Structure 1
Amino acid sequence: MDINLTFQEIDPLLELCGHSHGLVCLTDCDDVFLVNPMTRQFHKLPPSILIFRGCHHDDPDYYSAIPFTIGFGYDAKSSDFKVVRIVSCRGQAEFRMRVEIYDLSKDKWREIGAPDICGSASSTCTFDMYHEGIFYWWGYGEPMIFEADHIITFDMSEVIFDEVSLSESYDDKKHKISLRVLNKSIVLFIYPFESNETNIDIWEMENDEYGVVSWSKLLTIDPHFGVEHPLLFVSCEELLMESNEGHVIMYNNKTQQFKKLQIEGDVTYVKPHRIEARDLFIKSLVSVEGGNQL
């Protein structure tokens, strides 16, 4: 479908930062919109209670709070939609992260505590994702704090940040990664980054009875042609991938056959990622109006 909304004339560069129960969240980090593509209804969220840009660095009282990253999802416990925003705060004598949450039912923001790990969360279209009450960001490594790159999670119901280690096979000097869902389980794509390798390894996240996360390899794909990056599984057997020419490729892991689809990314868009794919979208009549209208 083509979605022509009036706010796109104001800011056409809004990015998708998640969807749930038929609602889509679009943002440039400053402004946030909730959209129901089926009803064409949209709602601009109230201004942040944290974001503030100071006047000048030479000012001894200079202070700024700039949006860092955003996540959107559904809180099943309170039957509410939430937007979580991490804000980077800088002043003459301090640097720290603060976090605010928007509750659609209340149509307002509130601040919560910000643990140190939220400062490494980073949005990327191939990685950040909402799944079963949890939002996932890519966590970049920081010397003296984190030993390796990892995953940052946020529980929408419990309002808790956490971190998950990556598969030991991941090497940031050789690989790129994507996070997606297969058969309701989190899977990790590990694929080549400027190397002679062509294989794409797919790992499944597993949790034991104590909540300890581990990874087990599901399968390896050898495309035999240039693949920019994997997109997502559309079924347990079919995987969408983007070629380095901007085409969408369908791969069937049962028959091991590849098929070029009639979908192409914008060739004028700077590589990589001319095409973005998310988990399956479900149509709904849920209202995006906050407060009692929800």
Structure 2
Amino acid sequence: MEAGDLPREILIDIFSRLPPKSVGKCRCLAKIWRQQLSTPHFIKSHLTRKTRQENLILITPSHSIHSISTIKDDAISRKLELPGNWTEVVGSCDGMVLLVNEDHEKFLVNPITLQQVQLPNSPQALNRMESFSMHGFGYDSSSDDYKVVTLSYYDTDNEYEPDCVDTFVDVYSVKRGVWKRVNSSPYDHAVPEPSPGAFVNGAIHWLASSREPGYPSVIAAFNLVDEVFDEIPAPSSVDVQNFVFNKLVTLGDCLCLIDARGNGPTNVWIMKEYGLKESWTKFSINGDYEWDIVKPLCLIGDEEVVLVTEGETLVVYNRTSGTLRDMVVDGGPASAIDGGTFLESLVSPASIGA
């Protein structure tokens, strides 16, 4: 039987179960396969499979990009041929990663296929020399669109009032290729270290301060469907006045809050059920280690967490035994200045909205 003799439905079902790299090889075997395995319908079908491998993506101290297969006891690194000096991993969604380079240019990249597109800057962007900005990246299910959200503000450096008078919110539609400005954020987003937003459950999350008396800390969630902010309840055990100085990341598709300040243990909270205050679970990283923990990157199974340290090293913490170990990586350095995770997919940044 030749490749073209198989019914299209059977082909789609068979190949949608394969890893992206295997699909790429199959595309080269027959013209009919290349056509059928490149359609938007097939790519969407492949994306919905839950067997895709989660990988790490890292910016090394030399500002190059590496990906690491996060397979327990078999971490394999490869350098991605993406020229430039990279500085920030903003986030990932459906296999695409939003990266920023030293020139503050934003690129949407598929680390598996190496397809990439440069995103334009917002025509309303504030002057970089006079302002601060933070970015987030996620998926809007209502419009089947990927969006980049930029928060920007002028810092008034006022000791007694909220630092930023207005936080401007600009939203970029990857499908339409346009920026628009929506209503300003109702929160004070001025923080010591502007951080990327954490995308979970259709919203991008940042730590901020309320403008209410006392300026309590909040978890501000920007819903990508309605393009408005809401609040997500914080853990009961955090200091409501000061957790804005913590860090918020995505860990295993959950919101993760980390407090690495001071000389004591590093406290980590994970929201197991989105939006439910009682679902926050906590663990503390103790132990005598050379460098302070910066942030967790990913989970390995149910027990271990991969973290990056201030010393730009990767370590693995076992929550059951309470022990830390250096991460062993085959084929590349076990070091990073920033990082995140992505799932393998065939989604092309260049074809969205085409």
Q: TM-score scaled by structure 1?
A: 0.72
Distance 1:181 1:219 in 2: 16
Kindly state the Cα deviation for residue 183 of structure 1 after the two structures are TM-superposed.
5.4
Shift of 1:228: 1.3
The equivalent position to 1:259 in structure 2, one of 296, 318, 325, is 325
Matched, 1:200 2:266: yes
CA–CA distance in structure 1, aligned partners of residues 270 and 235 of structure 2: 9
Q: Which residue of the partner structure matches residue 60 of structure 1?
A: none
Higher strand share: 1
Shift of 1:121: 7.0
Q: Select the residue among 268, 273, 283 that pairs with 2:344.
A: 283
Letter in 1 for 2:98: C
Number of matched pairs: 263
Distance 1:182 1:287, change over 3 A: closer
Residue 33 of structure 1 is matched in structure 2 by: 107
User: Quick one: structure 1 residues 201 and 15, their matched pair in 2 at CA, closer, same or farther if it must change by over 3 Å?
Assistant: closer
Q: Give the helix-richer structure, 1 or 2.
A: 2
Instruction: Name the CA distance, whole Å, in 2 between partners of 1:130 and 1:179.
Output: 10
Q: Call closer, same or farther: CA 1:222–1:3 in 2, change over 3 Å.
A: same
Task: Tell me the equivalent position of 1:87.
Answer: 152
* Higher relative contact order (Cα pairs below 8 Å, separated by 6+ residues): 2
The 3 A distance-change label for structure 1 pair 214 and 119 is same
Counterpart among 215, 238, 248 of residue 179 in structure 1: 248
- Work out whether residues 51 and 66 of structure 1, in 8 Å CA contact, stay in contact via their aligned partners in 2: no
State yes or no: 1:4 paired with 2:70. no
**What's the counterpart of residue 119 of structure 2?**
45
1:167 corresponds to which of 235, 241, 253: 235
Equivalent residue, structure 2, for 1:238: 304
Q: How far is 1:85 from its partner?
A: 1.4
The alignment yields a C-alpha RMSD, in angstroms, of 3.8
Give the letter aligned to residue 338 of structure 2.
E
Percent sequence identity over matched residues? 21
Q: 1:146 to 1:18 in 2, by over 3 A?
A: farther
Post-superposition shift, 1:78?
1.5
Deviation at residue 207 of structure 1 after TM alignment: 6.5
CA separation of 1:42/1:67 partners in 2, compared to 1, >3 Å: closer, same or farther? farther
Which structure 1 residue ranges, 5 or more long, are not aligned? 55-63, 267-273
Report the Cα offset of residue 178 of structure 1.
3.5
**In the TM superposition, what whole-angstrom CA distance separates every residue of 1:204-236 from its partner, at most 9, and x where no partner exists?**
33669xx66456443333223344114233332
- 1:175-226 deviations in whole A, cap 9, x for unaligned? 97343445543232333x333x2x2333233669xx6645644333322334
- The one-letter code sitting in structure 2 at the alignment partner of 1:289 is A
- Give SS of 1:220's match: strand
Whether contact under 8 Å (2:171, 2:181) holds in the other structure is yes
Q: CA deviation at 1:25?
A: 0.8
C-alpha distance 155-277 of structure 1, shift in aligned 2 (>3 A): same
TM-score by length of 2: 0.61
Give the match for residue 57 of structure 1.
Answer: none
Q: Is the 8 A contact 2:216 2:242 kept in 1?
A: no
**Structure 1 residues 72 and 145: alpha-carbon distance in aligned structure 2, compared to 1, 3 A threshold:** farther
